[in-house]
Every structure is written in C-alpha cells, then in structure tokens.
Structure 1
Amino acid sequence: MHASKVRGIQVHYELYKTSNHKPVLVLLHGFLSSTFSYRRLIPLLQKEYTVLSIDLPPFGKSEKSTRFTYSYKNIASVVIDLISSLQFKKVTLVGHSMGGQICLYIAKQKTDLVDKIVLLCSSGYLKRMPRSLIYSTYLPYFHYIVKRKLERQGVKHNLLNVVFNHSLIDQDMINGYTEPFLDNRIFMALTRMIRHREGDLTPQDLHTIEHPVLLIWGEQDRVVPLSVGKQLHKDLPNSTLITIKNTGHLVPEERPEIVFKHISHFVPV
C-alpha cells in the first residue's frame, strides 16, 4: 500500500508493476467500498498488467478530509493527477458501480489519458441529491444521522443485497467492508459528498465519449439493474455489453475469473 498527497488530500493506493511494457489498468471501486473489493481480481490481473488500485477519497484508507469538495469532477481530477504523478501516459480505466461514473468523468476531463474503459455494473443516470437534503447537510451533527442510517443497515445486510451467492459472505469479507467505517471522520466526509456530488453524466455527455467501452453486468444486480447497463450501451457509441448469469452487483468479488477473461480479451497484452 502506498500513499501520496494529491490536491491537498492523502490518497492511498496499491500498485503492482513488474515491467514498463505492460498495459496499465486503473481500478476504481464503488460507493462505501475500497480497493478491498478488487482483492480477488487483482491477483489475476497483476500477472498480465500493471495494476493501480485507488482508494477514492474519502473511502478505504484515503484521507477523510472535512475541507475537500467531494464532487465527481474533483475526485476524477485527483485520480488524473495521481496517474500523472506515477508517469503513466495511457491507461485503461476499470470502474465498479460509482467508480464507473468516475471513469466516465475522467474520460470527459482528460480524453487523451484514457485508452479504454471497463465498466462493472456502473452507476448511471443518477440525479443530484434533493435540494432539501443538501440544505440538511449544513445542520450541526448531520453526520450522526448518516452514521445511524448506515449502522442500522449494517454491512452484512448490504453485502446480502450486492452478492447473489450468499455463501461467499464470510467474516473476512464482513471485516474488510467494515474497517473503513471504524473512523468516525468518514461520516463527516460523506455528509460533504451528499452536499457536493453532482448528477451522473447525461446521455448527451455520454454520446461524446468515443473510447472503446466494455460493460460487464450481473444479471441479478439489485443495486444498479441491468436496464442501466443496457441504456449505457445505447448512449456510449463504442461500447459492448456482456451479462453474467446468477451474479449480483459485486461482480469483482463474485466472478473474478470471468471478469479477468473478458478484460484480457478487451485489453490484449
């Protein structure tokens, strides 16, 4: 695990590099997640690629700043600057859920940095939070409301919702997804994210992204249903959609071998 100060915020990342000649994959996780969600996919990818897996602020081990503006545009800029600081000139972006939307923002902001994009059950078409909720984030102690809501849901309940095969859920998995939330500062940062997060890219924005895009979707995804993947496939002009049976939202955990197979065809070494 490495850390670097980027745009005033400490960003943690994992880097697996054995050669300067391998294609570079940048892995971006989803909302309330971290690089931990790629723990089963990274061992397969690192044999063939240079892999950079980033804890998007304020998640994982990255800083939970109460000064940073947690807009997608800003988070995308942090990722762009980190990639540049590591002197990678051309990368393939791999994004799960919210991380997929960040990938699309990066492609819009820094077109020439991106070679290809892999979207794993990517979020899409979400609007900005309601104005009443945004105003509520300015109330003192609003972060306690955020904390109580997440605690009531519980990590195990969330995992049951995102994984089709419930037998995969063990204590290691529960611990891995719980750990980042033991730091109370994340709830203050999440309050700021509710306030700052703009809506997802519009169909008009998506039409301008001409990079090759591979969409991989679990057919039983209850968080971001397959209908979103089908709409993204229509709106992204150079895209391919692959669906996986008996699979939920957390495809890197559930189907790492299948995801690796499709990535290796899409990004040949």
Structure 2
Amino acid sequence: MRKGRVALAVSLGLALTTVGVAVTMPERVLDAEFARQRWLAGASQHTLQVDDHRWSYIEAGHGPLLVLVHGFTGSKENWLPLMRELAKTHRVVAPDLPGWGESERKPDGDYGPGAQAIRLAAFLAALKEKPALLVGHSMGGQIVGLLAARRPELVTRVVLMSSAGVLFHENEFGREVVAGRNPFEVTTRAQLQRYLGIVFTDPPFVPWPASEAMVRRRRADVAFEQKVLDGIGRGPEAFALQAELPNIQAPVLLLWCRDDRVVDVSAAEIFHQGLHDSQTVLLAGCGHMPMMAQPGNVAEALNAFVK
C-alpha cells in the first residue's frame, strides 16, 4: 500500500510538472517534438560560422550530398519527414537561412533573395563538397534559382519546388501580397489555423501547447516577415529570377502540387519555358508543402532525378 501511494505521488508529481512546463514554457514542448523528429530521421544539429552569420543546420545520412533550402516563414525542420527518406542513400543537409529559425539575424541585415543567394553560395563552399542536388522550396527556390544562374559552378542539378520568382497566374494569395498584406501572418491560434489551411490541402492537427509555441515564435517575427515579403513578393527583386532563367545551365526538376494555393501551379510552366533543361513532376492531393504532405512521393522523384 505504501509503495503504491509513493508511486502514485511520483506519477502525479511528474504529471503536474509536465503540465507546468507546458503552460509556462510551451516552446520546450515544440523543441521536444523537433528532437523526436530528428531522432526518427537520424539527424543531428550543427552550427557553422560563414562570413558574418552563424548558420544552424541539421544533417543526416551518408553518400552524395543533397542540400535542402526552406521557404518563407519556413525552417530546417520542414524537411525532417523528407530527410527520413533521403538519408537512406544520401548525406542530407538542411539549414535555417540567415535571419530565420535558429540562424543568426542582424538588425540591419538584407535578407532579400539576392543577398541570401550570396550567403548560400558561401555556405555551400563551407561544406567543402559540391551538392549532387540543390533543392529550394518556395522562397528557397527563388534563392536557389538565382544562385544557379549567377554561380553555375556551384550546382550540379537543381530542384525548384513550389518555387517563387516568376509571375504566375493571379490567385488570392498573390492579390493579398500585392496589396501589402502578409497572408502568412500568425499572431493568434486562429491565424495559425488559417495559415495551415493555406499551405496544406489537409491541414495537420497541432495540439496545445505546441500550437501556442508556434504562435509565439511567429508573433515575434511579424515585422521581419513583412520586410522580407516586401522584397520577395512585391519589390524590385520579386521576379528577377524570371529574367535570369536562360542563365541556368544545370538540369532542373520542377516539382509542384496541383492544388498549391500559394505559388500557383502555372508557375511550373513559366519556369519550364524559360529554362534550357527541365522536367516537371506534378503531385495530386497536396498544397504548398509537398515535402511534408507527401515525403515518400517527393523522395521518389528526387532520387530518380539525381540518378
């Protein structure tokens, strides 16, 4: 009886401690979930000083190098479901771009696509291995495309996934951006649900307190996101990549979901028309985040292309 009471008291104590942490420090719960996903992917976390910025990145697997570059409001963790697949045959590296996630942000820094392309070139050089495949998603695709056009010696093959950088058919997301708004803005849990509904056709359930942690992180970045969106969505660099597509000599895989509500699938054809060497894979039943919604299908397409 006494042992049973002690065990019950310990269990209740642990439960109350867990609840207390969840209420007061929900970020720890979200960090624990990311740690769990890294473990499943066999990934480890690292930092690397490149010029004037400290980069945070995750790495998994062995073999030819694949580098995965996230999009607007994204992070290296977006790639973890896909890394579980790709790391079976490749060394996979996914960084937080400077200014985002756990990488360094400077108050007066330029985090537009051109400046980020220069930084990405330096990061690739610091890895001391030329990637067999350089993958960019959304804003990351815009950055990767500019790098491929301006520094062709650094790339072998390129994947532009749901990529920004060209003038696609008008949609609601584009109209909001042109009007000066940030459709991805998250300051409340209701806005978080709206955001997930934009980027996923079947939005995942994010339980509390992870949802609260996500809201807090995004709320802190509202001004930064708006400034970056001014550059990638409606500033002079918004469609700079479209004019530079003829300069990309590397083979390019264009990978889109047909139901993308952010970068309309019409962008894939615009990219195809401007590139020397490209092929297109269109997936059904997913939105703007194919690497999270359909990691198996995306891995199959990338493995086929890199071979």
Q: Sort the TM-score into its range (normalised by shorter chain).
A: 0.7 to 0.9
Kept in 2, the 8 Å contact 1:14–1:54? The answer is yes
1:119 matched to 2:154? The reply is: no
CA distance in 2, matches of 1:214, 1:201: 20
1:171 matched to 2:212? The reply is: no
TM-score, structure 1 as length reference = 0.82
Change (3 A) 1:196 1:164: closer
**Residue 233 of structure 1: how far off its partner (Å):** 1.4
Kept in 2, the 8 Å contact 1:28–1:54? The answer is yes
The equivalences for 1:172-211 within 5 A come to 174=211, 178=215, 180-181=217-218, 184=220, 186-190=221-225, 192-194=227-229, 197=232, 198-211=237-250
Aligned to 1:105: 146
Higher RCO (C-alpha under 8 Å, 6+ residues apart): 1
Kept in 1, the 8 Å contact 2:61–2:91? The answer is yes
Q: Structure 2: which 5+ residue stretches go unaligned?
A: 1-44, 169-176
**Residue 98 of structure 1: how far off its partner (Å):** 0.8
Q: Structure 1: which 5+ residue stretches go unaligned?
A: 134-144
TM-score, structure 2 as length reference = 0.73
**Residue 247 of structure 1: how far off its partner (Å):** 1.4
Alpha-carbon RMSD across the aligned residues, in angstroms, is: 2.8
**1:2-43 deviation line (CA, Å, top 9, x unaligned):** 11222312211112243xxx2211100110010121121011
**1:92-137 deviation line (CA, Å, top 9, x unaligned):** 111111111111011122211100011111113259x87x97xxxx
Change (3 A) 1:176 1:14: farther
CA distance in 2, matches of 1:48, 1:241: 23
Kept in 1, the 8 Å contact 2:141–2:160? The answer is yes
Q: Match for 1:193: what amino acid?
A: V
Q: Which has the larger radius of gyration?
A: 2
**1:114-169 deviation line (CA, Å, top 9, x unaligned):** 00011111113259x87x97xxxxxxxxxxx98x9532672221111111123x33
Matched residue count: 249
**Residue 188 of structure 1: how far off its partner (Å):** 4.7
Aligned to 1:264: 303
1:150 aligned counterpart, secondary structure: coil
Change (3 A) 1:116 1:50: same
| Identity among equivalent pairs (%) | 27
Aligned to 1:82: 123
Between structures 1 and 2, the one with greater helix share = 2
The equivalences for 1:244-255 within 5 A come to 244-255=283-294
Q: Match for 1:215: what amino acid?
A: L
